[in-house]
Amino acid sequence: MTALLEVRDLQAHYVSFGGERVVKAVEGVSFTLEEGETLGVVGESGCGKTTTCQAIVNLLPPPGRIVGGSIAFAGEELTRKSQREMRHIRGAQIAMILQDPMASLNPLFSIYRQVSEPAYYHRALRGRGLRERVRELLNAVRIPSPAMRMREYPHQMSGGMRQRIVGAIALAGGPRLIIADEPTTNLDVTIQAQYLDLLKELQDKTGVAIIFITHNLGIVARMCDKLAVMYAGKIVEAGTVRELFNAPRHPYTKALLGSMPKLGSKEKLLAIPGHPPDLATLPPGCAFHPRCPEALPTCATAEPPEIQVIGSWSARCWRAEPQEISATDATTDSAKDIHAAAAVGD
C-alpha cells in the first residue's frame, strides 16, 4: 500500500532579483505520512517548515520554486501538476490551517460564504445542500447556533471561534490531509487546549492525516505520532515522538528539548545560543556546527550523512550511530514531563 504522502528529497529555493542571491529554504527533505497519521514538524523560525508545506500544495510565494525532488500524494506526483490541476487537490484533498486565525478570514465575506466555498467548488454543492453542509461543519467545530452565526462576519467573532471556523473551512472539502501551520500560536492558553482537543476529535472522526507545524514541543507531544526536526532547510532528525523525546540523537533536537521549561521548575525559557544561519550563505559542513556544543572537527568541513538510527528514526549528525535492537522503550521521566507541559501549553 502506498503512503498517503511521500516526500522525497524535496528542494525549494527562493531566487531573488537577477539570481544573485539564492535562499535554499528547503534542501533535500524526505518524509512519509500514512493515512490518519499525525506528523509534527518543528524548528526555529526560518528553518524551512512553512516552505515545505507550501511546496506540498505548490503555493510557494514568488520568487520561490521547487527545484528538485518529488511529492507523491496518494500515489500521484504533485510537482508535475499544473496550477489548474493542483486547484482540485487543494481544499479537496489537502487542506491547510494557517497561523493567524484573526487574519485567515476575509473580513468582507460572511462566514457562510467562506465556509461554503470549498464545498461549492469541490463537491459541487448548491443551495439547500450547501447550507446544510455549512451547518454541519459549524456544528462539528462547536459553533453555537450555526444558522445564525453563518450570516455574520469575522469581526463579530472571538479569536477562538474564528480559529474553529478556519478548522471548519479546512474540513469543508473533505480532505485526506490537513496541514496545520502553527494553528494555535495566536490563541490564549485555555482556548489552545480546547482547540487541540477539537482537532484531535475531528481527526478521530474523519480519519484525516495531519501535518502539524509548530515550534512548541508540548503540542507535538500531545498531538503527534511522528516528529521531524528541521534545521536550515533540512530534516536533521526524524522518528516517532516517543523515540525522539526519549533519546534525541541530534544535538539540535537536544537543544530544542532542553529549551522547553520543565514543569514545576523555576527556570525561565532557555534560548539556544547564536543565530539561525542565513539560508543564502550557509556555513560549510553541518549547518548547525557553529552553534553546536558537541561539534567535531569534521562537522565544519563535511556535511553529515543521514544515519538510520532504527526503523524510521534517522538523524543527520556525525555523532549519531545506528542503535542496537535492545534499545530502551519505556517512557522516561523527561517524556512524562513533556506530556505534563503540553497540558499547560506553551
Partner 1 sequence: MAFVTEQTRAALAGSAPILAGLRRRWLRLAAGLPVVPLAILIPFVLIAVFANVVAPYDPTEPIPGAKLFEPPFWADGANPAALLGTDFQGRDILSRLIYGARVSLIVGVMGTIVAGGVGTTLGIMAGYLGGWVDQVIMRITDAWLALPALVFAIFLATMVGPSMWNIIIILGAVYWTRYARVIRGEVLSLREREYVKLAEIAGASSARVILRHVLPNVLNSAMVLASLTIGVVIIAEASLSFLGVGVPPPEPAWGSMLADGRSMLMVGDWWLTVLPGLCIMMVVLATQLMGDWLRVRLDPQLRNL
Partner 2 sequence: MTQFIIRRTFYALISLFILSVTIFAIVRLTGDPVTMLAEPGARAEDLDRLRAEWGLDRSWPVQYLTFAKNVFTGDLGKSFNYQMPVSTLYFQRLPASLQLALAATFISFIIGIPAGLISAVKVNSAWDNAGKVVALFGLAVPGFWLGLVMILIFSVWLGWLPTSGQGGILHLIMPSVALGWYFAASLLRLTRSSMLEVMRSEYIKLARLKGLPGYVVIAVHAFKNALIPVLTLAGINLVVMINAGVIIEVIFAWPGIGRLLYEGIFQRDFPLVQGVVIQAGIMIVLINLTIDILYAYIDPRIRLAK
Distance CA 22, CA 68 (A): 15
DSSP calls for 201-267: HHHHHH--EEEEE-S-HHHHHHH-SEEEEEETTEEEEEEEHHHHHHS--SHHHHHHHHTSPPTT---
Site string for partner 1, 8-47 (x = CB under 8 A): ------x-xxx-x-----------------------xx--
How many C-beta neighbours within 10 Å does residue 259 have? 14
62 touching partner 1, by CB under 8 A: yes
Of residues 198 through 217, those in contact with partner 1 by CB under 8 A are 215
CB 167 within 8 A of CB 200: no
- For the bound state, the minimum distance from the C-beta of residue 278 to partner 1, rounded and expressed in Å, comes to 11
Q: Which does 96 bind (CB under 5 to 8 A by kind): partner 2, partner 1, none?
A: partner 2
Site string for partner 1, 89-108 (x = CB under 8 A): --------------------
Q: Which does 89 bind (CB under 5 to 8 A by kind): partner 1, partner 2, none?
A: partner 2
Residue 127 C-alpha cell reads as 443551495
Residue 87 C-alpha cell reads as 486547484
Q: Which helix (H) or strand (E) holds 194?
A: helix 189-206
Q: Which residues bind partner 2 (CB under 8 A)?
A: 57, 59, 61-62, 83, 86-92, 95-96, 98-100, 103-109, 117-118, 121-122, 155, 166, 169, 172-173
Comparing CB distances to partner 1, the nearer of 16 and 331 is: 16
Q: Which does 270 bind (CB under 5 to 8 A by kind): partner 2, partner 1, none?
A: partner 1
Distances (CA, A) of 209 to 1, 37, 180, 217, 222: 16, 5, 10, 19, 15
Residue 163 C-alpha cell reads as 480559529
| Contact positions vs partner 1 (CB under 8 A) | 14, 16-18, 20, 44-45, 61-63, 215, 259-260, 269-272, 275, 346
